[in-house]
Amino acid sequence: MSEIIALTACLTPLLSRTSLHHLQVVVLALLSMNGRVTMLGLSRWAEAGGSYRTLQRWFSSGMDWGSLLWAVVQGHLLDPQGEYVLAGDEVVVSKAGKQTHGLGRFYSSIAQRPIPGLSFFALSLVDVRQRRAYPLSVQQRLPVTVGERVKAAPKRGRGRPKGSKNHAKAAPVLSPELTLLETMLRTLLKRMGTLRVKHLVLDGFFGNYPATWMTRACGLHLISKLRHNAALYLPYSGSKPRRGPTPRYGDKLDYTTLPQTACVSAVTEGNVRVETYQLTVLHKDFPDSLNLVVLVKTQRKTGKRAHVLLFSTDLSLSAVQLVDYYSLRFQIEFNFRDAKQYWGLEDFMNVSEQAVTNAANLAFLMVNLSALLLQTHRQREPDFSVLDLKTHFRARRYLTETIKSLPDPPALDLISRLWHRLASLGGIRPPAHFQDAA
């Protein structure tokens, strides 16, 4: 319990003494327990002061989870000299029943179809050097009704309407997803204060003008992906016509014959040749130029080609940086995996709005706390995993309860050997010092 108290000391200004104590009890129970993470399971593994009714009251109390997540990252995981980007994505968890707040049908990439469940949108701070993501903001996304969906403006006919004048592109109408994301971004950037982050990485669902406009309005540059058949144009490079304005759009980009002058690198890995092209292009839906990177993969034996279009509003990014930053977006998927598999994001059975919010954010707080605990163990055992961490705390709990039931405490060397023996059961690998002793 002492190390949990030390880890959560940074939360003292944000929580009352009682709430902080209950959080510490819940964190220790999460680290020790096995099986489904529910309030009943937590109450069975919690130490003194963690009854079911107490946990029920705690899950119903309001907490500023965004500040709690940031306090842990800022106090323990942040490198002031580090390089960071923000990454965002949606996670869908399956839920049955009819009473859970925000229950609806959301598309699950795992099931490859819409499923009944809950949807949460998360923003994580990604350390470029360490290549790890730390959740900073989690908000539930409510199901969108038909009347709330943004209807696309009707398309006009071909050609320029008579009498129309040049004007700046109007601000788009944001969808409910983008409205939620904008609120989260503005709150998070204000909370982060002096930590300057320039780029926001989102998946291909947000590779459109409204998402770009929203990101730029928040003071960030967007990195995302376009459709493989996006209509892109090279800037006009010809001579000025004798009459009329200079055209803005040049030749349409042909992905089968990309200009060799734009080729940045070409690497052959086994039977696959990967070519990287970087160009500054225009899109008729975007008012500004885009920094485009085209990754072309060719099967050397069959000649089949496939390409991926990555883009950014930051024209100063190199191709290597753009591809690297976009690949770091996948680190947030590891946050989702750990939150579901170990910390109860898939298991909780709360139904009220506040309890659902607390259960989801608690799972992501545990992602940050477990990352901090793993750093200590991986200094001696680089392959130490979350499963080993939970086995470590569970063995300590079993040993503590066993010693309490003995009439006399055993010798210290016997306690050490018992603890190492218990810690070797259920984990992926025994502790290194136990292996040496064996």
Per-residue pLDDT of the chain (438 residues; tens, 9 = 90+): 678 888 899 999 999 999 999 999 999 999 988 888 999 999 988 877 678 999 999 999 999 999 999 999 999 999 888 899 999 999 999 998 888 999 999 999 888 899 999 999 999 999 999 999 999 999 999 987 755 565 656 677 777 777 777 667 778 889 999 999 999 999 999 999 888 899 999 999 999 999 999 999 999 999 999 999 999 999 998 888 888 888 889 999 999 999 999 999 999 988 999 999 999 999 999 999 999 999 999 998 898 999 999 999 999 999 999 999 999 999 999 999 999 999 999 999 999 999 999 999 999 999 999 999 998 888 888 888 898 888 888 888 888 878 877 777 777 777 777 767 766 666 666 555 444 433
Which residues are paired to 290 by β-bridges? 281
Contact 87, 331 (CB under 8 A): yes
The pTM of the full predicted model, rounded to 2 decimals, is 0.87
Q: How many CB atoms lie within 10 A of CB 166?
A: 5
Distance of alpha carbon 73 from alpha carbon 365, whole angstroms: 10
> Angle 126-10-127 (CA atoms, 0-180°, nearest 5)?
10
The b/e string for 222-259 (b: 16+ C-beta within 10 A; e otherwise) is bbbbbeeebebbbeeeeeeeeeeeeeeeeeebebeebe
Report which of 111, 64, 119, 112 is spatially closest to residue 89, judged by C-alpha positions.
119
Distance of alpha carbon 65 from alpha carbon 47, whole angstroms: 24
Distance of alpha carbon 44 from alpha carbon 24, whole angstroms: 15
How many C-alpha atoms does 353 have within 13 Å on its Cβ side?
6
Hunting for tokens 């225009």 — which residue is that? 282
